[in-house]
């Protein structure tokens, strides 16, 4: 395809082939000349995960958490897909993330949870975004803005701190917060929310104290004549455990196919046939752009931290830490080639990473490499590939695998995939 098939401005969505669209990042060149490194976002898997979470939620409305550009998947495309699939609301961290979704035509409720509103309250009113109030001074500020905007009032959600120690009104302030709401009737307490610090910790008691405090807050505001219309607390882990459903749930990571409870010995709210059935939404692909036969002792990468222990075939893949591949994977991580694992050798550099493919037969320049996701032995081979394709089935590298190898969590692995990596959207 040529450049002219694509609309001219950035962020344009254009047909690529039957079930793929490209979401053009800001600095990308025409698609037929960009380097082969790309992220694929499987929207069918996203819809599947929403379906699984619906079972878990047992009828409680789902507000998808799409902060940080939908955990790196592209907030607009993800929000449109989920809205069409019937999601009940969306949560973001920043007001600009909310504005981006409204400008993309999203009409379901959007809750802005990140706490920082600055002088942007008029943006909330103008774009019909729901403010999370977490601090008493915000109530008077908001009331002033509402009067200024000639608006009849604004519904807000109040966040209370039940042990997270991050954002949210603390118990000793609740009475004064209630009085502030009563003094500024144009700011209406519509929702009451909290966030768990330990929802993924495999102990039964982790919800006890937070839930008791949350009930205490509910009772206090109700007694003050401010009964919240909706209450919510559950992130993915709490939802999958069937805890703290209240009136809506706020899953993030599970929508993208990562099970925050993987391996944890906890009870789940899913019917057994659905457990473990979340599907990864993002995969990252590239190709081998250089291949070198080394003799024993030859060094690879900055600082010569890896030396070939034997005659070795080493491939260069054009993705590095500036693309979001952690430098902590140096001499630790793995990529997939021909459906088999190839260890990263040497230091991950800004734009490139090397892998040892000595033990993989028939590797050639241009062969597909999977950095995140699954690869089958057959489909990944270059045209000449034939032997040994049956011996290995489907190999997979998950965000959790990468997190483990690099000492972080899957949330950071996904949000790190940088803007430099173009996102391709697959509908089926
Ligand atoms: C990020 C976030 C969530 C979603 O958490 P996951 O673990 O990704 O499901 C829910 N609520 C709040 C307040 C958050 O910040």
- pLDDT tens per residue, range 162-175: 999 999 999 999 99
Look at residue 150 in the predicted model and tell me its pLDDT: 84
Position with higher pLDDT, 297 vs 20: 297
For a pLDDT cut of 90, what percent of the chain falls above it? 79
**pLDDT of residue 271 exceeding 90:** no
Decide if 76 is catalytic. no
Ligand 1 geometric centre to CA of 69 (Å): 14
Look at residue 39 in the predicted model and tell me its pLDDT: 97
User: Using an 8 Å Cβ cutoff, are 370 and 397 in contact?
Assistant: yes
pLDDT tens digits, one per residue of 399-412? 999 999 999 999 99
In the block, residue with structure tokens 């490499």: 369
Answer yes or no: is the C-beta of 92 below 6 A from any ligand 1 atom. no
Residue 340: beta bridge partners? Answer: 337
**pLDDT of residue 384 exceeding 70:** no
**pLDDT of residue 83 exceeding 50:** yes
If you average pLDDT over every residue of the chain, what do you get?
90
Average pLDDT rounded to a whole number, residues 66-95: 98
The pair of structure tokens assigned to 371 is 């950095």
**pLDDT of residue 387 exceeding 50:** no
Ligand 1 geometric centre to CA of 101 (Å): 18
Ligand 1 geometric centre to CA of 32 (Å): 37
The pair of structure tokens assigned to 220 is 């206090």
Of 67, 76, 159, 287, which one is the catalytic site residue?
67
Ligand 1 geometric centre to CA of 316 (Å): 37
**pLDDT of residue 380 exceeding 50:** no
> Which residue's alpha carbon is nearest to atom 10 within ligand 1?
235
The CA distance from 312 to 363, in Å, is 12
Answer yes or no: is the C-beta of 252 below 6 A from any ligand 1 atom. yes
> Which residue's alpha carbon is nearest to atom 12 within ligand 1?
195
Answer yes or no: is the C-beta of 159 below 6 A from any ligand 1 atom. no
Classify residue 248 by its DSSP letter: B
Measured CA distances, 23 to 36, 75, 166 (Å): 15, 11, 34
Of 71, 116, 159, 302, which one is the catalytic site residue?
302
**pLDDT of residue 324 exceeding 70:** yes
Look at residue 6 in the predicted model and tell me its pLDDT: 41
Sign of CA dihedral 119, 120, 126, 128: negative
Decide if 67 is catalytic. yes
Answer yes or no: is the C-beta of 253 below 6 A from any ligand 1 atom. yes
User: Using an 8 Å Cβ cutoff, are 424 and 16 in contact?
Assistant: yes
**pLDDT of residue 359 exceeding 70:** yes
Look at residue 54 in the predicted model and tell me its pLDDT: 95
**pLDDT of residue 76 exceeding 80:** yes
Please list, in sequence order, all residues whose beta carbon lies within 8 angstroms of the beta carbon of residue 95, skipping any fewer than 6 positions away: 112, 114, 116, 117, 120, 123, 124, 129
Look at residue 32 in the predicted model and tell me its pLDDT: 59
> Which residue's alpha carbon is nearest to atom 6 within ligand 1?
252
Which of 17-21, 193-197, 252-256, 394-398 has the weakest average pLDDT?
17-21
User: Using an 8 Å Cβ cutoff, are 67 and 94 in contact?
Assistant: yes
**pLDDT of residue 7 exceeding 70:** no
User: Using an 8 Å Cβ cutoff, are 113 and 141 in contact?
Assistant: no
pLDDT tens digits, one per residue of 20-62? 666 655 555 555 557 899 999 999 999 999 999 999 999 999 9
Alpha carbon of residue 135 to chain centroid: 27
Measured CA distances, 104 to 81, 127, 230, 410 (Å): 12, 12, 27, 27
Rounded to a whole number of angstroms, the CA Rg of the chain reads 24
**pLDDT of residue 269 exceeding 90:** no
Which of 124-138, 231-245, 368-382 has the weakest average pLDDT?
368-382
Average pLDDT rounded to a whole number, residues 299-314: 98
Sign of CA dihedral 357, 360, 365, 370: negative
């Amino acid at each position: 395809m040529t450049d002219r098939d694509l609309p001219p401005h950035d962020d344009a969505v254009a047909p690529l082939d039957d079930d793929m669209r490209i979401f053009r990042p800001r600095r990308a060149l025409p698609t037929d000349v960009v380097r082969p490194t790309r992220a694929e976002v499987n929207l069918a898997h996203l819809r599947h995960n929403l379906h699984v979470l619906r079972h878990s939620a047992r009828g409680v409305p789902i507000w998808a958490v799409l902060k940080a550009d939908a955990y790196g998947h592209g907030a607009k495309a993800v929000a449109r897909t989920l809205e069409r699939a019937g999601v009940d609301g969306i949560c973001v961290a920043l007001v600009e993330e909310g504005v981006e979704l409204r400008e993309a035509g999203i009409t379901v409720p959007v809750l802005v949870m990140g706490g920082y509103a600055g002088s942007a309250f008029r943006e909330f009113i103008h774009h019909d975004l729901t403010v999370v109030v977490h601090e008493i001074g915000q109530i008077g500020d908001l009331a002033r803005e509402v009067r200024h905007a000639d608006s009849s009032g604004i519904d807000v959600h109040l966040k209370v701190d039940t042990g997270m120690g991050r954002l949210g009104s603390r118990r000793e302030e609740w009475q004064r917060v209630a009085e502030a709401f009563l003094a500024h009737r144009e700011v209406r307490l519509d929702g009451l929310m909290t966030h768990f610090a330990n929802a993924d910790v495999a102990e039964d008691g982790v919800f006890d104290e937070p839930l008791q405090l949350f009930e205490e807050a509910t009772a206090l505001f109700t007694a003050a004549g401010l009964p919240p219309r909706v209450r919510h607390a559950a992130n993915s882990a709490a939802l999958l455990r069937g805890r703290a459903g209240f009136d809506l749930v706020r899953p993030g990571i599970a929508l993208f196919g990562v099970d925050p409870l993987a391996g944890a010995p906890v009870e789940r709210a899913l019917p057994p046939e659905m457990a473990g059935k979340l599907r990864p939404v993002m995969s990252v692909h590239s190709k081998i752009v250089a291949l070198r036969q080394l003799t024993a002792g030859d060094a690879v990468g900055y600082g010569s931290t890896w030396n070939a222990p034997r005659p070795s075939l080493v491939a260069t893949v054009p993705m590095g830490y500036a693309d979001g591949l952690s430098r902590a994977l140096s001499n630790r991580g793995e990529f997939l080639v021909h459906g088999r694992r190839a260890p990263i050798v040497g230091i991950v550099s800004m734009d490139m990473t090397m892998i040892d493919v000595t033990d993989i037969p028939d590797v050639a320049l241009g062969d597909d490499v999977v950095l995140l996701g699954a690869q089958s032995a057959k489909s990944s081979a270059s045209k000449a590939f034939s032997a040994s394709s049956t011996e290995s089935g489907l190999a997979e590298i998950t965000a959790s695998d990468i997190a483990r190898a690099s000492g972080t969590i899957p949330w950071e692995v996904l949000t790190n995939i940088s803007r430099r990596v173009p996102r391709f959207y697959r509908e089926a």
